């Protein structure tokens, strides 16, 4: 098995169905409710299905059978998501329930396809890992998902994505130190995967007391490790807003860590976020956070400029007005 197949995550799955279809819904189309949105979603998803189906018969004949299954997963997931949109968008209860039933049938078909593949290819670790993700996203059966990820690691102890999946699950259910060890192993095996660094950095921050007690790390050590993982995730995936935002936001908690306040690094992180993602970063909290960083550097005039620009988008916003007042009060007074 190639290193690329073994190390990397199969996909960046999201949960596709509404709570009527499964129990872990964080669907990307949860807010879609109009007929126009339904049509737009349909066209997008049909395009996704078409792109997956593209390819010559010769290419399909030479394809890895698991890759065929992965393409089926992508097509099926697109259809499942379409049924989720349909269930949310139609007005009649009967039509909505019909869409839910059809979505469930698609989920069942996908699960069966993975189970049949595993029965015929019992030594391929990719399939149980992927089926575990399907259960997590589509059925909510986490006991079965964990069993499948554990089976993956029995087949291939160096399967990075299974380590990441198990680590994320264990930390969420309270087996924190065990989960972090899996997350760390995923980073060791596949240091090029930004998502693994992101999850590990989140755990270092969220479970500080447990790590301090178990590993005897002081706050400064934790800060350095958290910052390193967050920055690595951002640098590995420069087009991902969430990773860039997470790294910049890390500096907002620096006062909780001794000798960790680094206003120049914080400024660079926030400027990178604003330059790379001007629309997504132009929110009230982000504008105020950037102003706070400038204030830490005693760049009060620049902070006022940022806040006044923010008020043009959010007229009368109280937090920005208060920060402007604080900046003016802190600015050196010119002698008469």
Write the secondary structure of 91-156 as one string of H (helix), E (strand) and C (coil): CCHHHHHHHHHHHHHHHHHHHHHHHHHHHHCCCCCHHHHHHHHHHHHHHCCHHHHHHHHHHHHHHC
Q: How far is CA 266 from CA 177, 282, 294, in A?
A: 29, 17, 9
DSSP secondary structure letters along 190-208: -TT-HHHHHHHHHHHHHTH
Model confidence pLDDT, tens digit, residues 240-267: 999 999 999 988 876 666 545 678 889 9
Residue 15 pLDDT > 60: no
Model confidence pLDDT, tens digit, residues 203-232: 999 999 999 999 999 888 888 899 999 999
Identify the top-confidence range among 32-36, 101-105, 178-182: 178-182
Residue among 16, 190, 246 nearest 165 (CA): 190
Residue 290, classed as helix, strand or coil, is helix
Indicate the average pLDDT of the chain: 83
Model confidence pLDDT, tens digit, residues 265-297: 899 999 999 999 999 999 999 999 999 999 989
For 250, residues 6+ apart whose C-beta sits below 8 A from its C-beta are 201, 205, 226, 227, 230, 269
Percent of the chain residues past pLDDT 90, beyond the cut: 66
196 vs 232: CA distance, rounded Å: 10
pTM listed for this prediction: 0.79
> Is residue 64 packed enough to be buried (19+ CB in 10 Å), middle (13-18) or exposed (0-12)?
exposed
pLDDT value, residue 96: 86
Residue 20, classed as helix, strand or coil, is coil
Work out the pLDDT band at 137, boundaries 50, 70, 90.
Answer: very high
pLDDT value, residue 34: 36
290 vs 281: CA distance, rounded Å: 10
């Amino acid at each position: 098995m190639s290193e690329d197949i073994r190390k990397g995550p199969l996909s960046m799955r999201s949960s596709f169905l509404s709570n009527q279809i499964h129990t872990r819904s964080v669907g990307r189309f949860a807010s879609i409710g109009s007929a126009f949105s339904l049509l737009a979603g349909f066209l997008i998803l049909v395009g996704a299905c078409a792109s997956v189906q593209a390819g010559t018969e010769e290419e399909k004949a030479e394809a890895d059978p698991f890759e065929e299954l992965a393409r089926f997963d992508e097509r099926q997931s697109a259809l499942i998501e379409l049924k989720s949109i349909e269930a949310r968008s139609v007005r009649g209860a009967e039509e909505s329930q019909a869409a839910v039933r059809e979505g469930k049938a698609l989920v069942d078909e996908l699960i069966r396809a993975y189970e049949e593949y595993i029965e015929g290819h019992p030594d391929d670790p990719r399939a149980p890992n992927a089926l575990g993700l399907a259960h997590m996203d589509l059925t909510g059966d986490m006991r079965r998902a964990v069993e499948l990820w554990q089976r993956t690691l029995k087949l291939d102890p160096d399967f990075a994505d299974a380590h990441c999946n198990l680590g994320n699950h264990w930390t969420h259910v309270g087996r924190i130190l065990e989960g972090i060890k899996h997350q760390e192993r995923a980073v060791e095996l596949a240091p090029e995967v930004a998502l693994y660094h992101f999850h590990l950095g989140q755990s270092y921050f969220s479970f500080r007391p447990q790590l301090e007690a178990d590993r005897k790390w002081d706050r400064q050590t934790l800060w350095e490790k958290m910052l390193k993982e967050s920055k690595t995730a951002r640098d590995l995936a420069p087009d991902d807003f969430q990773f860039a935002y997470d790294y910049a936001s890390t500096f907002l908690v620096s006062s909780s860590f001794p000798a960790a306040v680094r206003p120049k690094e914080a400024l660079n992180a926030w400027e990178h976020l604003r330059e790379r993602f001007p629309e997504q970063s132009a929110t009230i909290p982000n504008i105020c956070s950037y102003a706070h960083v400038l204030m830490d550097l005693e760049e009060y005039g620049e902070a006022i400029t940022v806040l006044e620009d923010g008020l043009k988008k959010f007229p009368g916003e109280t937090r920005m007005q208060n920060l402007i007042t604080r900046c003016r009060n802190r600015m050196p007074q010119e002698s008469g």
